[in-house]
Chain A
Amino acid sequence: MRRSKSPLERETLGGHIFQICNTLILTLVLIVTLYPCLYVLFASFSDGVLLTKGNRLLLWPKGFQLGSYEIAFNNPNLWNSYLNTILYTFVGTALNIVMTCIAAYVLSRKYLPGHKIMMRLVVFTMYFSGGMIPTYLWLNNLHLIDTFLVMILPGAVSTWNLIILRTAFISLSPSMEESAKIDGASDMVILFKIIVPLCLPSIAVILLYYAVGHWNEYFNALIYLRQRSKFPLQMILRELVVLNNTDSALIGANSTAENLSVTVPVKYAVIVISTLPILFLYPFLQKYFVKGMMVGAVKE
């Protein structure tokens, strides 16, 4: 990509050996990276009794059953938390995008008196924070603990994403905006009718970051939520795959010796079910990653 083929570029023997070694190393990296994910997928379809016996190395499901998925799908606990996560993700991401667009727009107006000091204050929050406890106590004072809003508001703007978007806004040519201004368009119209459509790739990147962040969030739920009915998916997953608390979280009283073949793989099935949305989204947004990271890497 970066080099054009020229007569000078003819590969030497050493070059060929290097290419082969490089391919081998990267193939090994691929296997190591991918195998844990494949293992979970194989284990979720495997027969639990065979799975716990003997060598754990899986190159393909051992035996086959779908009972684990049936248990997972039939569990109201899991569905409730799944719906909560979808709600937190949709509402949270929508708020994130609107707030970040507004912030990036205002902070990219270099003619605005005070934009520099505002930007400095915003960036300062990246390097210094009150910390876990003062934040918790303050949210408690605001009566936000154990509410729906506590999963949405405290992360309404991510400063990192704001910088990415601001950099994208700054690099736009100002000509369209100027003509819109002459036609009497307000700032809101300029932002959402002109600038946002021009910066869709960057917005796609931060949308992905925000959405994945909400989807994978567990720590805020752990410290701010009390009622199980409000728990997001990751909290139920935590009980299941980290605390290994299968009985209370999912399977209920019917976890007996006879149905081990389906109850053992349940946790793997739940991991697969909970990661599916990200896996579906991933290929569509993947092409924007590099662009987004590149923009973010540029110093503000």
Chain B
Amino acid sequence: MSTKTLAGRANAPAVPKKGAWQTFLRYKALYLMFLPVAAYYIIFHFIPMAGVVIAFQDYSPSSGISGSDWIGFENFQYFFQSVYFFRLLRNTLMISVYQLLFKFPASIILALLINEVKNMWFKRSVQTITYLPHFISAVIAAGIILDFFSFDGIINSAITAMGFQPQMFMIDPNNFYPIYVGSEIWQHCGWDSIIYLSALSAIDPTLYEAAVVDGAKRWSKIWHITLPGILPVIIIMLILQIGSMLSVGYEKILLLYNPSLYETADVISTYVYRKGLLENDYSFSTAIGLFNSVVNFGLLVGANYVSRKLGDNSLW
């Protein structure tokens, strides 16, 4: 996977060993160029990162971080003991697990199917059209879902046409996981398949020819050449997926849910949004957000570690 070239090193001007100040002066144009970027990362990423200290405070905006009382892990304890904790964790994990079980393989299968198409025109059309929903905004996607699953919507039209009772989809919490994950597959499956398609196109064609000479059939070619060929990419994507298990996208859920769906639709990030920005409970919601980030980071590092131990595919 690595593309280490010597491009950068080759044009390095010959620098005699000197002090740090000389080195800085030598490259000051580059450092100056980088200044706005560094400022951006410091102001909009690292300072807010430092702002998580309010998770350990009883923060009030009027007294600021320096004036607010430190309360240790009280916010975390309160969250772990609250009735919402289990529900939020369950919903977040369930949606992630559903995505891992259905959305993740769907894009791989789609890529394999597209890869087998011989007709270039058809192949191009399938790709163009399946990528398209990825560019639809969350608002429009949510609008379409709400419209399709409304009581007099098209899904209920189909259900009644088949002789069943219409359902109150967007009020009944039992349907939220499949509706949400299904809509995610609709929107992103095609787009996610691109990465596998590009990995597929990189497989050496002579491997297939050799396999055919040895009498391999279609399935054994897929099993012994195609899948191993894209396995590194699959593993990298899996690590990333596991690393974001606890960050189910709030953007779309926030648009889709309503209080009657909270039982299954309320996830950690939507709860942080409601607590923090609608109820102004800053410290408490920051604590939940921090818990979320730390668990995510731990999962990512853990998945990466396991994958590096098992084979040589890893993010770093």
Contact = CB atoms under 8 A, between A and B. Distances in A.
A229 interface: no
A286 B128 contact: yes
B296 to A, nearest CB: 8
Contact of B7 (A58, A112, A122, A171): A171
A55 B157 CA distance: 5
B311 interface: no
A294 B202 CA distance: 10
Given A134-B54, A282-B135, A218 B251 contact: yes
12 contacts: A33-B132, A34-B129, A37-B132, A106-B33, A106-B37, A112-B27, A113-B27, A131-B290, A234-B137, A242-B255, A293-B198, A294-B198
Interface string A174-192: 1001100100001110000
Nearest to B20: A113
A18 interface: yes
A116 to B, nearest CB: 11
A216 B27 CA distance: 39
A286 B131 contact: yes
B120 A1 contact: yes
B300 interface: yes
Nearest to B126: A26
Interface stretch (A86-94, A247-255, A267-275): A267-275
A237 B143 contact: yes
Secondary structure at chain A's binding surface: helix, strand, loop or mixed?
helix
B276 A109 contact: no
B113 A137 contact: no
Interface in A168-227: 170-174, 177-178, 181, 186-188, 212, 215-216, 218-219, 223
B154 A26 contact: no
Contacts of A276: none
A25 interface: yes
B205 A4 contact: yes
Contacts of A58: 154
B218 interface: yes
B199 A187 contact: no
Contacts of B236: 297, 299
A124 B1 CA distance: 20
B64 to A, nearest CB: 8
A102 B198 contact: no
Given A30-B129, A271-B140, A129 B48 contact: yes
Secondary structure at chain B's binding surface: helix, strand, loop or mixed?
helix
Given A26-B114, A37-B132, A108-B8, A167 B218 contact: no
Nearest first, the 8 A-B pairs at minimum CB distance are A110-B8, A134-B51, A241-B143, A130-B48, A111-B12, A131-B289, A216-B137, A294-B198
Contact of A128 (B44, B255, B277, B297): B297
B286 A237 contact: no
A140 B7 CA distance: 43
A99 B33 CA distance: 10
A228 interface: no
Interface size class of B (residues with CB under 8 A): 35 or more
Contacts of B117: 22-23, 26
Interface in A258-300: 267, 271, 274-275, 278, 282-283, 286, 289-290, 293-294, 297-299
A56 B153 contact: yes
B227 interface: no
Interface of B: 1-3, 5, 7-13, 15, 23, 27, 29-31, 33-34, 36-38, 40-41, 43-52, 54, 61, 110, 113-118, 120, 122, 125-126, 128-133, 135-140, 142-144, 146-148, 152-154, 156-158, 161, 186, 190, 194-195, 197-201, 203, 205, 208-209, 212-213, 217-218, 233, 236, 243, 250-251, 254-255, 269, 272-273, 276-277, 282, 285-286, 289-290, 292-293, 296-297, 300, 315
Contacts of A112: 27, 30
Interface of A: 1-4, 6, 8-9, 14-15, 18-19, 22-23, 25-26, 29-30, 32-34, 36-37, 39-40, 52, 55-58, 99, 102-103, 105-106, 108-113, 118, 121-122, 125, 127-138, 140, 142, 153-154, 156-157, 167, 170-174, 177-178, 181, 186-188, 212, 215-216, 218-219, 223, 234, 237-238, 240-242, 267, 271, 274-275, 278, 282-283, 286, 289-290, 293-294, 297-299
B133 A99 contact: no
B1 A275 contact: no
A175 to B, nearest CB: 8
B8 A109 contact: yes
Give the most central of A4, A136, A181: most B CB within 10 Å. A136
Contact of A22 (B10, B11, B116, B292): B116
Contacts of B198: 290, 293-294, 297
A242 B7 CA distance: 50
Contacts of A26: 113-114, 117, 122, 126
